[in-house]
């Protein structure tokens, strides 16, 4: 029926959604009100078992693949059709919040339940997925489950990774799979008709503009660099400034120049130095070594390519006699989401009379790997002060429910095309 998306949205229950989010937040709850639920930990296992139990209540079929991505499936009327998939991740940062990731999984489940309770049939199956290890807190890199699913990362290499305690990923995965037995086995890269992920914004724009829904048009490109500066130790009292090879002052000059030269009027460029280490670290010794990181992001592929190319020349131009090594460590091109999916999200938000704006995601998400496989998109909802990766992460129940209403409408819309 043509009003099925609206009926699905109307069946979304704000209180039920909130109760389920709070239930999920107990697994790994921290005294400060956050969540420590790292990938393939006991807490992650408990969260997975909870999702499987919810699924059982509705006869939704759970499944799992070889990297532990967990799927919950509501059949469509045409069982052989590729499913429309939603989801996110259940793992958290060591000091994470209740909503980052969990919202996309729990909200996805609420959408399926709303559709089920509204007795809506869809041609395509609907699935909710909890991707393994999006955060990368315990095993690096993050967004691992979706990257292995998409073929960007290789399973064997991931299985051999170790966490800080020396536990191998394959051990932790075996424990996880043993604790969630009897699930259907799923293949990597199976065909999806569409992928739509709901997530808190993790930034301040929706809250600041009083907008309910972020229609995510893409994910900005991300480049990481590690810069090392090698100078010469010297006595702070006896060595004239002109004779020094001061690694700290060179690094300071580089960062000041990068800040100035990479800045844009529209405040779109994201340039961050998050790590800065200086040795030997005695107040009266001229530093001989500095290591700092650069995190550089921009939504436009041509612009980020141009900015990225300037990093090393700017650093070298301010070396001040020191040796400088600039090493790129991550290079992720911007993701442009599928125009039809973006339009579906925009249209359903409009149909529900919810304020919405197009926006680019500042953070990376599992959806960036899915976008290479199938038409993909995301729905953002506001979070308090843009805080995330923080135990104080917060979001309003009404905002969270509005996002799931849009999601439910989109899923029905896409599954009946």
Residues in touch with a copy of itself (CB under 8 A): 201-205, 220, 222, 224, 233-243, 246, 248-249, 252-253, 255-256, 259, 263, 267, 269-278, 281-287, 290, 293, 295, 297, 361-364, 386-390
CB of 131 to a copy of itself, least distance (A): 18
- CB nearer to a copy of itself: pick between 84 and 307: 307
CB of 240 to a copy of itself, least distance (A): 5
Whole-number Å distance between alpha carbons of 274 and 8:
43
Whole-number Å distance between alpha carbons of 205 and 290:
35
- CB nearer to a copy of itself: pick between 8 and 314: 314
The answer to whether 101 and 135 are in contact (CB under 8 A) is yes
CB of 264 to a copy of itself, least distance (A): 9
CB of 124 to a copy of itself, least distance (A): 32
CB of 94 to a copy of itself, least distance (A): 11
CB of 224 to a copy of itself, least distance (A): 6
- CB nearer to a copy of itself: pick between 113 and 246: 246
- CB nearer to a copy of itself: pick between 136 and 397: 136
Q: Where are the beta strands (DSSP E) in 172-307?
A: 184-185, 194-200, 213-219, 221-230, 234-235, 270-272, 276-279, 285-286, 289-298
The answer to whether 293 and 273 are in contact (CB under 8 A) is yes
Distance of CA 239 to the CA centre of its chain: 49
- CB nearer to a copy of itself: pick between 351 and 394: 394
- CB nearer to a copy of itself: pick between 186 and 318: 318
Q: Which two tokens stand for residue 295?
A: 């995190």
CB of 115 to a copy of itself, least distance (A): 30
Q: Which two tokens stand for residue 339?
A: 């125009």
Q: Residue 178 contacts by C-beta under 8 Å, 6 or more apart in sequence?
A: none
- CB nearer to a copy of itself: pick between 223 and 356: 223
Long-range contacts of 39-42 (CB under 8 A, 24+ apart): 39/91, 39/132, 39/133, 39/134, 39/135, 39/137, 39/138, 39/139, 39/144, 39/172, 40/68, 40/91, 40/132, 40/133, 40/138, 40/139, 40/169, 40/172, 40/173, 40/175, 40/176, 41/91, 41/138, 41/172
CB of 133 to a copy of itself, least distance (A): 16
- CB nearer to a copy of itself: pick between 2 and 284: 284
Residue ranges in 143-201 assigned as alpha helix (H): 144-150, 155-159, 169-179
């Amino acid at each position: 029926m043509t009003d099925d998306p609206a009926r699905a949205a109307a069946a979304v229950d704000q209180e039920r959604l909130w109760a389920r989010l709070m239930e999920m937040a107990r697994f790994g709850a921290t005294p400060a009100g956050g969540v420590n639920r790292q990938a393939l930990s006991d807490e992650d296992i408990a969260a997975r078992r909870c999702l499987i139990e919810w699924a059982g209540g509705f006869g939704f079929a759970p499944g799992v693949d070889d990297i532990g991505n967990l799927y919950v499936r509501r059949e469509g009327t045409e069982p052989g059709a590729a499913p429309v998939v939603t989801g996110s991740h259940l793992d958290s940062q060591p000091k994470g919040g209740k909503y980052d990731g969990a919202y996309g999984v729990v909200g996805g489940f609420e959408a399926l339940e709303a559709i089920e309770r509204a007795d809506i049939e869809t041609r395509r199956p609907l699935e909710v997925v909890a991707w393994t290890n999006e955060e990368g807190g315990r095993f690096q890199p993050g967004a691992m489950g979706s990257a292995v699913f998409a073929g960007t990362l290789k399973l064997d290499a991931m299985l051999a990774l170790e966490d800080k305690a020396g536990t191998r990923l394959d051990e932790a995965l075996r424990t996880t799979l043993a604790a969630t037995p009897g699930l259907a086995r799923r293949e990597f890269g199976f065909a999806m008709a569409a992928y739509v992920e709901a997530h808190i914004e993790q930034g301040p724009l929706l809250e600041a503009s009083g907008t309910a829904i972020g229609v995510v048009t893409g994910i900005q490109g991300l480049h990481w660099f590690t810069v090392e500066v090698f100078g010469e130790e010297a006595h702070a009292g006896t060595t004239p400034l002109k004779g020094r090879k001061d690694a700290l002052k060179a690094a300071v000059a580089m960062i000041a120049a990068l800040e100035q030269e990479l800045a844009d009027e529209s405040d779109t460029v994201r340039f961050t130095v998050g790590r800065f280490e200086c040795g030997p670290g005695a107040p009266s010794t001229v530093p001989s070594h500095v290591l700092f990181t650069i995190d550089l992001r921009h939504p436009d592929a041509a612009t980020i390519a141009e900015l990225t190319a300037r990093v090393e020349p700017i650093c070298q131009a301010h070396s001040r006699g020191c040796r400088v090594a600039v090493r790129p460590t991550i290079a992720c091109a911007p993701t442009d989401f599928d125009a039809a999916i973006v339009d579906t999200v925009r249209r359903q938000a409009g149909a529900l009379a919810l304020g919405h704006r197009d926006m680019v995601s500042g953070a990376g998400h599992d959806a960036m790997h899915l976008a290479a496989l199938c038409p993909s998109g995301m729905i953002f909802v506001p979070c308090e002060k843009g805080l995330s990766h923080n135990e104080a992460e917060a979001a309003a129940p009404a905002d969270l429910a509005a996002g799931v209403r849009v999601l439910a409408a989109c899923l029905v819309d896409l599954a009946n095309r």
